[in-house]
Amino acid sequence: MIAAAIDIGTNTILMTVKNLKTGQILGDFHHMARLGENLHHTGLIGAPAIDRLLPILKEYKSTGSKLGVEKFNLIATSAMRDAKNRQQVIEIVRAETGFVIEVVSGDREAELTFFGGLDGITPATAQTALIDIGGGSTEFILGSRTAIGLKKSLNIGTVRLSERFNLLQDDPAKFRIPDFISHVQGELATLPFQETPDTSWVAVAGTPTSLSALLNGLKTYSPETVHGSVLPLSYVTEKRIEFQSIRPELIRERYPILGKRYDLMLAGCLILETAMKHFQTRSLLVSDRGLRYGALLSDQVF
């Protein structure tokens, strides 16, 4: 059976197509819809965001059909969980595309992300902690290859906090960096983690994968290079210092490989750096995979 898992996030819309019988990945696709734009202020997914979402889903349906997809599974996370009009969005998507969206809990999101993120990676220790920095929330999961011990979703996503702490302004002097860090530190203090020195850390999603691409000098994104690469705290700090000192537009000019993610990189770096310092980890492994891979591994989904 050929199946597709579509991850509808606060910032990105991702699709992976897999032959479940052979295990072969037939395609991996990425688009940005920024569903969470202004969600923090309005509580709603706005019409412009819906207008960006629909063509992406229609394209994915067409692409998947050409690849022989027999089953599409659409999973929505933080933005749809928070949106007051989520049912309206679900109905619009159903009417326009025929797709049915499942809005999963933070716990379910964490489970799928953990096992999907570890797919194809061999951490050095039995215990693994995973951080998934999304646009609306960040998930922290502690476990092993066979079971999850602790998991928690915090509302500290890149889109949410970029808007809240003025990181999308043209003038870096208006960035509220100390307030941003203080807020993230407060959220991290609520985590119930009891990680040990023999814990391996893995990071998924756009911030760590983009940083890995920059660290490895990539001009064109390469999943093979990024997946399983090592990202030092020192490099995260280096890029955070650079990004907070320049206009977002200059980030885009310097690093075209970042694409439409350029203006969220500062927030991502701040979240990742603060978390790494909180857990006293000097480096982590980067995973190019995540929730959609976990969905494709899950017998309960297909």
**Domain regions of the chain by residue span:** 2-103, 107-287
Indicate whether 245 pLDDT > 90: yes
**Residue 14 φ/ψ, nearest 5 degrees:** -115, 145
How large a percentage of the chain has pLDDT more than 70?
97
- Is 162 in contact with 267 (CB distance < 8 Å)? yes
- Is 133 in contact with 271 (CB distance < 8 Å)? yes
For residue 20, give every residue at least 6 positions away whose Cβ sits within 8 Å of its Cβ, in sequence order, or none: 1, 2, 3, 296, 302
Strand partners, 32: 12
**Beta carbons within 10 angstroms of residue 201's beta carbon:** 20
Residue in the block written with tokens 């969905």: 295
Q: Averaged over 194-223, what is the pLDDT?
A: 89
For residue 66, give every residue at least 6 positions away whose Cβ sits within 8 Å of its Cβ, in sequence order, or none: none
pLDDT of residue 298: 63
Task: Encode pLDDT of 43-79 as tens digits.
Answer: 999 999 999 999 999 999 999 999 999 999 999 988 8
Task: Encode pLDDT of 279-298 as tens digits.
Answer: 999 999 999 888 999 889 86
Indicate whether 116 pLDDT > 70: yes
Rounded-to-5 percentages of helix, strand, coil across the chain: 45, 20, 35
pLDDT of residue 301: 43
CATH topology of domain 107-287: Nucleotidyltransferase; domain 5 (3.30.420)
For residue 278, give every residue at least 6 positions away whose Cβ sits within 8 Å of its Cβ, in sequence order, or none: 185, 188
For residue 219, give every residue at least 6 positions away whose Cβ sits within 8 Å of its Cβ, in sequence order, or none: 257
- Is 285 in contact with 201 (CB distance < 8 Å)? yes
Indicate whether 197 pLDDT > 80: no
Q: What is the DSSP letter of 260?
A: G
Q: Which candidate, 77, 202, 231, places its Cα nearest to that of 140?
A: 202
Indicate whether 302 pLDDT > 60: no
Strand partners, 284: 231
2-103 CATH pick, 3.30.420.40, 3.30.497.10, 3.50.50.60, 3.40.50.170: 3.30.420.40
Q: Which candidate, 224, 266, 285, 231, places its Cα nearest to that of 25?
A: 224
For residue 275, give every residue at least 6 positions away whose Cβ sits within 8 Å of its Cβ, in sequence order, or none: 131, 138, 140, 184, 188
pLDDT of residue 289: 87
Question: Considering the entire predicted model, what is its pTM?
Answer: 0.80
| 107-287 shares the fold of 2-103 | yes
Distance CA(1)–CA(277), nearest Å, equals: 44
Q: What are the tokens at 287?
A: 């995973």
Who has greater pLDDT, 11 or 165?
Answer: 165
CA geometry: angle 6, 256, 54, nearest 5 deg = 30
Distance CA(15)–CA(7), nearest Å, equals: 6
